[in-house]
Amino acid sequence: MKFFVDTAEIEEIKEFSYMNLVDGVTTNPSLIAKSGNDIKDTIKKICTLISGPVSAEVTANDTNEMIEEGKILHGIAPNVVVKLPLTWAGLEACNKLSNLEIPTNVTLCFSAPQALLAAKAGATYISPFIGRLDDIGISGVDLIEEIRAIYDNYDDLNTLILAASIRNISHVTQVAMIGADVATIPPKILKELVKHPLTDIGLKNFLDDWASTGQKIK
């Protein structure tokens, strides 16, 4: 499973890119607004740090306007993936952009039928929001499993499952076990993946035992 980092903060992306821990980046209008930076400048800077897919979202609601915005965003860098809402207009824009060989990420997916429509429209990625489903008492991880089963039934559906709205470490483990192609993870949770209390205890014991020897490695 590939890891994308879900942020528009340049310094956070730099940190992960230097370690080669992430394969791509996802942004959205809310993350761009939070950063306080210009969307085009932000996407351009991100694409200088990350060679993998960088999702940038349109803000229009009309199909033709989505297509035009998508062309502009993809024109910033060849690895920009145009993010589109899972609406009828968004699906139409997805189909048109896909026909132009512009990669797309259809976002705000909350059901398996929606994911099937996105795949039929030619989406490169589908982004089911599992955390938001959990918020209303529906298992978001179950949705990933349903989409995986449907896509695997048909060889002509090539859309990749991008698990989004990741809220905790358990989400990452579960979507990896089910077979999501990608998980887009907030920086805080990405850093938490390395943590385990037994790791800390074991390291302390090793270092204490080593200190007792009085030796140094130089």
Predicted pLDDT of residue 111: 98
For 2-40, give the DSSP string.
Answer: EEEEE---HHHHHHHHHTT--SEEE--HHHHHHHTS-HH
DSSP letter assigned to residue 159: P
Long-range contacts formed by 167-175: CB under 8 A, 24+ apart: 167/130, 167/131, 167/134, 169/193, 171/130, 171/131, 171/140, 171/141, 174/141, 174/144, 175/1, 175/130, 175/141, 175/144
DSSP E strands in the chain: the ranges are 2-6, 24-26, 54-57, 80-85, 104-109, 125-128, 160-163, 182-185
Token representation of residue 89: 């207009």
Q: Using the structure block, give the residue that is written with the tokens 């809310």.
A: 30
The total number of residues written for the chain in this structure: 218
Burial 83-121 (b: 16+ CB within 10 A, else e): bbbbeebbbbbbbbbbeeebbbbbbbbbebebbbbbbeb
Q: Which helix (H) or strand (E) is 139 found in, with range?
A: none
Which domains are seen in the chain, by residue range?
A: 2-193 (3.20.20.70)
Instruction: Give the Cα separation of 57 and 193 in Å (integer).
Output: 27
**SS3 category, 123:** coil
Average pLDDT, the chain: 96
Q: How far is CA 99 from CA 25, 95, 105, in A?
A: 23, 6, 14
pLDDT grade for 204, boundaries at 50, 70 and 90: very high
pLDDT grade for 101, boundaries at 50, 70 and 90: very high
Predicted pLDDT of residue 130: 98
- Kindly report, residue by residue over 10-52, the tens digit of the pLDDT: 999 999 988 888 999 999 888 988 888 899 999 999 999 999 9
- Taking residues 154-181, report their average pLDDT: 98
Token representation of residue 84: 């589109």
For the annotated catalytic residues, the residue numbers are 83
